[in-house]
Chain A
Amino acid sequence: MYGMGIVKGLLVTLKNARRKPFTTQYPEQRLEQAARFRGQEFTWYVDRCTGCASCAKYCPLGIIRIETDPNGGNEQDGGTYRVDTFDIDQARCMYCGLCVEACPYDALHMGSNFEASQARRADLVITKEDLIGREKHPSTWFRPQLSREGYDPFSGQSKDWHEAGRESGEWHPQRPETLPGAGDTRATSDGDYR
């Protein structure tokens, strides 16, 4: 009959009206995030970083700036560069994660936050001090060891540097003396590691 389509349409919207609203009221209510979310606030472990600057080379936008100092150590023998500057310009970052893929020592991880808006562009640059001072909740993106152990950056514990790598901490050339109860003696380079 003429006009029945309108009646049908009205009933469809009425059915929708009786449904629970889908709205998530953001600041108070939040959707669940995936553990592999590629977000801001990179997690960086200064103890794992050798200053090789792979991340800076792989970054398609060239927004990572690393300045290192040879520090007089013997690189052949496990000694590393001292990282003087480690700046990431978030204003231009597109969170592609290539820097994290490139890192050979699992020192750099993606973060899980998405709420780092600032009033000034200059405030968007993350410095070395920021990165060191932050809570370490690495995203499990491109870090199969974290996925395998079922780590959840949103509810999980803060990860210390020797827990976040793809190999266990004892075999890492860096800083064996800071490991809890480890007695590895491989790294014997003198001088300040920082």
Chain B
Amino acid sequence: MAPLEDNRIFSGVYGFFQGTLSAPEWLAYFFGGFAVIMTVVNGFLLIGTIFTWMERRVVGRFQSRLGPNRLGPFGILQAIADAIKLLFKEDIVPRRADRLLFNAAPIVMLAPSLMALAVVPFGAGSYVADLNIGVLYVVAMSGVASLAVLMAGYASNNKLALFGAMRAVAMLLSYEIPLVMTLLGITVLAGSMSLVGIVGAQGIPFLLVAPLGALIFLIAMSAELNRPPFDVTEAESELVAGYITEYSGMKFGIFYLAEFSNVVLAGALFAVLFLDGWNGYFLPSHLWFLLKVFGFLFVASWVRATLPRMRIDQILALAWKYLFPLSLVNLLLLAAETIAWPDPSTAELWLMAAINWVVALAAVPLLAMVGARTPARPRRVGFPQEVR
């Protein structure tokens, strides 16, 4: 479990309460833990808030625009202005909506991503808890998000919200499978489910060792996060805003924040699983971690600015007919290599990387020929076929 006593913030607050104020030990422990959690959660939400601004700027540049640049240096205070505006907006609950579920949905959306933070290591030895089932815990937490989406869609008493929620759940459940298979592959490779242990096992970054896994992780993650090209759940041309249609004010703000914070969390996971976590040269470990996370965020914004939205049937076909077999290939390959070279040295990792790259470059187009054909447009039902 976590060496909470090694944490500098914890030991500082703990020492202050126990030493200077001579408070009882349990109280000092409580305040120390509280300080750690507040730091992690607020820092995380701050990065999420910065990302809302950063994405608008980056997407703006990709579209040859400027993006928000008027408030504060480079417009960085725009996120704060947006939050203030949302706080002052009228809080509307639709008539005959399920009030309890309607109000609970934003909380259920945001809370799991904050809880998943507990196991993410942000730097050398700085994490809240080193859970030995860390990967499983993160997957479980991200699974709760689909429940929140369904709650929001159902409770809104709005057909568009319900359609958005149904699509979201279908998509989230479909993409969870290749995602979990990939994480399983990484777990097999690292021999550990703890995120700290996975970073420790990376002699070379797993991005090089398991390129197939990284690809599947990126695609499946952007589907899990409802980001383009997988944002059919809030396709404005069809569903207004999907499950957040009826939300306004700060409830909408919390959904928005949760969406962007989840991207930050995905970036942190990608950094931990594939980019060797906090390890780097010259710079302090926290800064390296932040750099990797922001690199991921930049790529996410780039993809958002580029790819058009897919149809829901195309999305599900991609998950089941292409990514699922691909993730099976990835898992089998990594498992076989782990049996061949248990506890691999750096040289053996490079050998595995070479094999995996060859297999990946072969498997991606080969499986595409089998499974990833664009499905035909569904036939219209109850409509004369002659009238086209």
Contact = CB atoms under 8 A, between A and B. Distances in A.
B336 interface: no
B66 A25 contact: yes
A138 to B, nearest CB: 35
A23 interface: yes
B365 to A, nearest CB: 5
Give the interface size class of chain B.
Answer: 10 to 19
A22 B64 contact: yes
A13 B306 contact: yes
Contacts of B66: 21, 23, 25
A17 B65 contact: no
B364 A2 contact: yes
B61 A21 contact: yes
B62 A6 contact: no
B303 interface: yes
Among B302, B305, B306, B364, max chain A CB count under 10 A is at B306
A19 interface: yes
Give the interface size class of chain A.
Answer: 10 to 19
A17 to B, nearest CB: 5
A65 to B, nearest CB: 42
B240 interface: no
A171 to B, nearest CB: 54
B372 interface: yes
Interface in A141-194: none
Contacts of B60: 21
Interface in A1-60: 1-3, 6, 9-10, 12-14, 16-17, 19-23, 25
B358 interface: no
A13 B63 CA distance: 7
B65 A22 contact: yes
A10 B302 contact: yes
Nearest to B215: A3
Nearest to B58: A17
Given A10-B302, A12-B306, A13-B302, A2 B372 contact: yes
Contacts of A6: 306-307
Given A2-B372, A12-B306, A21 B65 contact: yes
A10 B303 contact: yes
B368 interface: yes
Interface in B26-70: 60-66
Interface string B348-363: 0000000000000000
A192 B21 CA distance: 95
A100 to B, nearest CB: 37
A14 B302 CA distance: 8
A19 B372 contact: no
Contacts of A14: 62, 302
Contacts of B306: 6, 9-10, 12-13
Contacts of A3: 364, 368
Contacts of B368: 2-3
A13 B65 contact: no
B364 A19 contact: no
A10 B372 CA distance: 20
Among A6, A16, A19, max chain B CB count under 10 A is at A16
B321 to A, nearest CB: 13
Nearest to A9: B306
A15 to B, nearest CB: 10
Contact of A16 (B62, B303, B364): B62
Nearest to A12: B306
A95 B368 CA distance: 59
Nearest to B63: A16
19 contacts: A2-B365, A9-B306, A10-B302, A10-B303, A10-B306, A12-B306, A13-B62, A13-B305, A14-B62, A14-B302, A16-B62, A16-B63, A17-B64, A20-B64, A21-B60, A21-B61, A21-B66, A22-B65, A23-B65
Given A13-B62, A19-B64, 20 more contacts: A1-B364, A1-B365, A2-B368, A2-B369, A2-B372, A3-B364, A3-B368, A6-B306, A9-B306, A10-B302, A13-B306, A14-B62, A14-B302, A16-B63, A17-B62, A20-B64, A22-B64, A22-B65, A23-B65, A23-B66
> What 4 A-B pairs have minimum CB-CB distances, sorted nearest first?
A2-B368, A13-B306, A23-B66, A13-B62
